[in-house]
Chains A and B, each alone.
Chain A
Amino acid sequence: MISFFNYMNVSISLFLVSILGIFLNQRNILIMLMSLEMMFLSVSFNLIFLSIHLDDIVGQIFSLLILTVAASESSIGLAILVIYYRIRNTIAVELTNLMKG
């Protein structure tokens, strides 16, 4: 049972670290995308572990799906980033305040 908590701890703390990485980070949008990737990884790690633990294949199918989704998502995100850089000449997050409420 100890291994169960260890696995869970690893995936949850990875998730929390990536959340902190998203919103403690003031500057770099690349780091935000990386944190997002890390969040996907921790979720899919959790799914794989639980599919092993519960002896159910569905978790692994989901983690495969998440991998593809994450890949496509990060490619689109990077594409947006490139376009953004081409227009603004910077990728600092703190300057993206043109749309105020």
Chain B
Amino acid sequence: MYLTILFLPLIGSLISGFGGRWLGCWGSSLYSTLCVFFSFLLSLGAFYEVGLCGISYHVILSSWLESGILKINWGFLFDSITVTMLIVVTSVSSLVHLYSIKYMETDPHVPRFMAYLEIFTFFMLILVTADNLLQMFLGWEGVGLASYLLINFWFTRLAANQSAIKALVVNRIGDFGLTMGILLIFWTFQSIEYSVIFPIAPLFENFSFSFMGANVHCITLIGLFLFVGAVGKSAQLGLHTWLPDAMEGPTPVSALIHAATMVTAGVFLIIRFSLLLEFSPSILCILLIVGSLTAFFAGMTGIFQNDLKKVIAYSTCSQLGYMIFSCGLSCYQVSLFHLFNHAFFKALLFLSAGSVIHAVSNEQDMRRMGSLVNFLPLTYSLMLIGSLSLAGFPFLTGFYSKDFILELTQVSIYNNSFYVSFSFWLGSMSVFFTSFYSLRLIYLTFLNNGNITRPLLKSVHESSIVMTLPLVLLSFGSLFFGYLGKDLFIGLGTDFWKGSIFVLPINNFFVEAEWVSIINKWFPFILTVFGILLASLINITEISKYFILKLYKPTFFLAFLLNKKWFIDILYNRIIVMPLLNFGYNTTFKALDRGFIELSGPLGFSIFISNWSKVISRLQSGLLIHYVFFIVVGVCFLFLILTQNSLMFSINPKMLGIFFILTFYI
């Protein structure tokens, strides 16, 4: 059963990919959807057995690599984290498959699309079930590859090509960090299997090595490298630029990448390595700061985006920031709980956005929508559920995980940590931003006056049942999962996690968070409501005109800055990308490859030979006296060599060489 979960998507992908020609559009869609759906059913079984009954499975298939001390197996580990991720991945993936049957109906390459979606799911499953780092790395790279293929699905579009390459290359930076982390783990622990690393991690708590005079704490360095990997994959601040650009793919792809699979891989890595990272306080601090900055930055940028999908993309980035800084607070289970909930409401948001885009004939700009509530009531209500859940409205799914993360940051009042209060303020501010842009999206798309052209408005229609059914299912998830899963995942004293998550007792804020003062508990909710009210105020009343007239000039630059994503892309292009490309062309290619190396190598040698052959052939002038001269000189020279040792004089070899060279200049 456990291996079938993994291999059903692989088989589905291979068959719908290679056999798509014979299966046809509907055949391959149905086949691959069924494969993932059965995988989902089986992972429900796995969740029951592993999560609820408390049995941990470790399947070792065969040996992969054996070289000296390095032994790597094809092993699959099913513990609590894994089965939670399995549920997330397979459920969202099967709903996305179902959705894209109808969404991609008119596309000529449906079998290819289905094969890519399936292989994406398969690599994600490999990533979460791996029992060693190399196999996890296989899934990690495979997910990156599949994201490339999916973002680039409409490969005739230049923008899709560019953003796919960007996604792959920016991810590779993180992958390099992960590779270094894996090598360092092998160097330190002499093994890369989880079952070896984690039990002996406490022994290495104070282990450090000397590198160029500096004393490096080993676990901190490992954690740093792993965090670089997570930054790339989970789009944290610094390497987040690929995520908004990944919107170039079809909408179900965005739902899969942003909700369930790819971006959660980095958070999953951090959660998986909780048993190691706990022993390095500085790494936890970095997680806290970078995560909260990401949440703040992305939330603030999301406000001024006008593309329907980019708003949701930035909210993904912001929520991933929450997850990472929750890890930094050593509350890995809360992070995973938020990941679990986030998958449902973000998939809901993306698929609803896809439904809207489908309805208005592929128009993505929110400014050209509006008043769609009359035409798409179902999509409107589903998207409202998703948005309110994202904003952390009480008793929806997002509330249970997100507000708990904010409560966790509020324990800074008790332990007086500067960093935690820093992340508290940033996190709280981004709560406000989140609710503001969620409601702004709702208003601009559905409630404000319409800006659609009349011919387009005539063709607006609610999507078919195949597209709305996944939305309805996901909306049930967004409504109820938080309440249902709360006690299981983050309840006080829950034994769901067993040994898979470890928190040092000194880092455990978990219990204190339950006893923060009542006003602090209300604080995020007040910010949420404030954001909702502000969005309503601006969009319902005429106050926006006042804003435009009176506050336009002072706020213009800020709005412009935020709309252009803080100019980070441009800065990266100017400071890093273009100089690197120029270096590659001018220095490496023109100066070194085509210049120095070629001149001192084949090209230079051939020029040297042809020049000297001309010089030497010019010696044959055709004049008899010159020939005679050379004959005589040659004979003398021969005598010189033959009689060098026997005669009374012995000539200096250096002088001989000089003489030889001088003969060329005659």
Binding site for B on A (CB under 8 A): 19, 22-23, 25-26, 29, 32, 93-94, 96-101
B620 contacts the other chain (CB 8 A): yes
Residue of B nearest to A95 (CB): B623
The reply to whether A101 and B620 form a contact with Cβ atoms under 8 Å apart is yes
4 additional A-B residue pairs with CB within 8 Å, beyond A26-B625, A97-B623: A96-B622, A96-B624, A101-B621, A101-B622
A74 CB, nearest partner CB in chain B, Å: 17
- In the complex, A51→B610 CA distance in Å? 52
B624: chain A residues at CB < 8 Å are: 29, 32, 93, 96
Dominant SS among interface residues on chain B: helix
The reply to whether B618 and A101 form a contact with Cβ atoms under 8 Å apart is yes
The reply to whether A101 and B623 form a contact with Cβ atoms under 8 Å apart is no
A98: chain B residues at CB < 8 Å are: 622
- In the complex, A75→B629 CA distance in Å? 24
Residue of A nearest to B619 (CB): A101
The reply to whether A101 and B632 form a contact with Cβ atoms under 8 Å apart is no
B518 contacts the other chain (CB 8 A): no
B203 contacts the other chain (CB 8 A): no
B617 contacts the other chain (CB 8 A): yes
The reply to whether A96 and B623 form a contact with Cβ atoms under 8 Å apart is yes
B664 CB, nearest partner CB in chain A, Å: 14
B628 contacts the other chain (CB 8 A): yes
The reply to whether B621 and A97 form a contact with Cβ atoms under 8 Å apart is yes
B617: chain A residues at CB < 8 Å are: 101
The reply to whether B622 and A99 form a contact with Cβ atoms under 8 Å apart is yes
A100: chain B residues at CB < 8 Å are: 620-622
Residue of B nearest to A97 (CB): B622
Residue of A nearest to B635 (CB): A19
Max chain A C-beta neighbours (<10 A), residue from B618, B619, B622: B622
The reply to whether A94 and B628 form a contact with Cβ atoms under 8 Å apart is no
A19: chain B residues at CB < 8 Å are: 632
A40 CB, nearest partner CB in chain B, Å: 16
- In the complex, A25→B632 CA distance in Å? 14
A-B contact pairs, 19 of them (CB 8 A): A19-B632, A22-B632, A23-B625, A23-B628, A23-B629, A25-B625, A26-B625, A29-B624, A32-B624, A32-B628, A93-B624, A96-B623, A97-B621, A99-B620, A100-B620, A100-B621, A101-B617, A101-B621, A101-B622
- In the complex, A79→B219 CA distance in Å? 99
B29 CB, nearest partner CB in chain A, Å: 79
B619: chain A residues at CB < 8 Å are: 101
- In the complex, A32→B617 CA distance in Å? 25
Contact of B623 among A22, A25, A29, A94 (CB under 8 A): A94
A26: chain B residues at CB < 8 Å are: 625
- In the complex, A23→B624 CA distance in Å? 9
- In the complex, A96→B619 CA distance in Å? 15
Residue of A nearest to B624 (CB): A93
- In the complex, A19→B619 CA distance in Å? 21
B626 CB, nearest partner CB in chain A, Å: 9
- In the complex, A93→B626 CA distance in Å? 11
Sort A-B residue pairs by CB-CB distance and give the 9 closest, nearest first. Answer: A101-B620, A97-B622, A101-B617, A100-B622, A23-B628, A99-B622, A23-B629, A97-B623, A93-B624
A22: chain B residues at CB < 8 Å are: 628, 632
A96: chain B residues at CB < 8 Å are: 622-624
Max chain B C-beta neighbours (<10 A), residue from A22, A23, A26, A98: A23
The reply to whether B632 and A23 form a contact with Cβ atoms under 8 Å apart is yes
- In the complex, A96→B629 CA distance in Å? 15
A87 CB, nearest partner CB in chain B, Å: 16
- In the complex, A66→B621 CA distance in Å? 32
Residue of B nearest to A24 (CB): B625
Instruction: Annotate B620-664 by CB proximity to A: 1 below 8 A, 0 otherwise.
Output: 111111001100100000000000000000000000000000000
B629: chain A residues at CB < 8 Å are: 23
Max chain A C-beta neighbours (<10 A), residue from B618, B619, B621, B628: B628
B432 CB, nearest partner CB in chain A, Å: 90
| Chain B, 493-524, CB within 8 A of any chain A CB | none
B632: chain A residues at CB < 8 Å are: 19, 22-23
B625: chain A residues at CB < 8 Å are: 23, 25-26, 93-94
- In the complex, A97→B617 CA distance in Å? 14
A25: chain B residues at CB < 8 Å are: 625
A93: chain B residues at CB < 8 Å are: 623-625
B622: chain A residues at CB < 8 Å are: 96-101
Residue of A nearest to B636 (CB): A19
- In the complex, A27→B170 CA distance in Å? 81
Residue of A nearest to B614 (CB): A101
Residue of A nearest to B616 (CB): A101
B130 CB, nearest partner CB in chain A, Å: 73
Residue of B nearest to A25 (CB): B625
- In the complex, A96→B622 CA distance in Å? 7
Residue of A nearest to B620 (CB): A101
- In the complex, A98→B620 CA distance in Å? 11
Max chain B C-beta neighbours (<10 A), residue from A22, A25, A94, A98: A22
B620: chain A residues at CB < 8 Å are: 99-101
Instruction: Annotate B595-628 by CB proximity to A: 1 below 8 A, 0 otherwise.
Output: 0000000000000000000000111111111001
- In the complex, A25→B628 CA distance in Å? 11
A22 CB, nearest partner CB in chain B, Å: 5
A64 CB, nearest partner CB in chain B, Å: 25
- In the complex, A100→B50 CA distance in Å? 94
B472 CB, nearest partner CB in chain A, Å: 93
B611 CB, nearest partner CB in chain A, Å: 15
Instruction: Annotate B252-271 by CB proximity to A: 1 below 8 A, 0 otherwise.
Output: 00000000000000000000
- In the complex, A34→B651 CA distance in Å? 35
- In the complex, A75→B628 CA distance in Å? 21
- In the complex, A96→B618 CA distance in Å? 16
Instruction: Annotate B86-103 by CB proximity to A: 1 below 8 A, 0 otherwise.
Output: 000000000000000000
Residue of B nearest to A29 (CB): B624
- In the complex, A99→B626 CA distance in Å? 12
- In the complex, A29→B624 CA distance in Å? 10
A99: chain B residues at CB < 8 Å are: 620, 622
- In the complex, A68→B623 CA distance in Å? 29
Residue of B nearest to A100 (CB): B622
Residue of B nearest to A27 (CB): B625
A29: chain B residues at CB < 8 Å are: 624
- In the complex, A22→B618 CA distance in Å? 22
- In the complex, A23→B618 CA distance in Å? 19
- In the complex, A96→B623 CA distance in Å? 6
